[in-house]
């Protein structure tokens, strides 16, 4: 397995970590039960993606990068600053949609890289699930 492939998979894993952390903040701001449940479903999907990616990287004989990294910490800080105070639900939905879209763009870049077939299939499945999550979030956009 090439170092490039492991690096790409860890980048994807880091994006999933960032999504889980962001959804912690989003969920905290939501009062509507249906919206909260949907946000929790999306967050749980990202957690499942993290587990699948971590296990796959370990099965390849490498160590998953479980840290958010500076970019992730800064992103989490920005989400929390954006949501500080009295936050309108539509603002939270738009932030979540924007974040999910950024994650999809990152996953698409990983897929365009040089990956073996099994890694490409795994990344493609994660991308498919992230797109489904985006569709779930878009139902709340007004």
Q: What is the 3-state secondary structure (H, E, C) of 3-59?
A: HHHHHHHHHHHHHHHHHHHHHHHHHHHCCCHHHHHHHHHHHHHHHHHHHHHHHHHHH
Closest CA to 15 of 40, 41, 44, 50: 50
Give the per-residue pLDDT at 79: 54
Q: Which residues contact 63 (CB under 8 A, 6 or more apart)?
A: 57
Give the per-residue pLDDT at 133: 95
d(CA 132, CA 11): 20
Give the per-residue pLDDT at 114: 82
Give the per-residue pLDDT at 18: 87
For the purposes of burial, counting CB atoms within 10 Å of the CB of 66, is it exposed (0-12), middle (13-18) or buried (19 or more)? exposed
Indicate the pTM of the whole model: 0.86
* Segments of the chain scoring below 70 in pLDDT: 1, 68-86, 142
d(CA 48, CA 54): 10
Closest CA to 69 of 111, 12, 115: 12
Give the per-residue pLDDT at 88: 81
Give the per-residue pLDDT at 139: 93
d(CA 73, CA 112): 26
């Amino acid at each position: 397995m090439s170092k490039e492939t492991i690096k790409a998979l860890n980048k994807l894993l880091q994006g999933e970590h960032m999504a889980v952390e962001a959804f912690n903040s989003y969920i905290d701001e939501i009062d509507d039960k249906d919206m909260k449940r949907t946000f929790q479903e999306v967050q749980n999907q990202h957690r499942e993606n993290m587990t699948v990616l971590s296990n796959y990287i370990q099965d390849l004989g490498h160590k998953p990068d479980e840290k958010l990294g500076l970019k992730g910490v800064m992103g989490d800080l920005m989400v929390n600053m954006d949501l500080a105070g009295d936050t309108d639900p539509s603002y939270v939905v738009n932030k979540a949609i924007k974040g999910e879209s950024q994650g999809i763009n990152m996953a698409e870049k990983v897929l365009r890289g040089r990956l073996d077939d099994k890694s490409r299939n795994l990344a493609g499945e994660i991308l498919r699930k992230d797109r489904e999550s985006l569709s779930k979030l878009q139902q709340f956009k007004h």
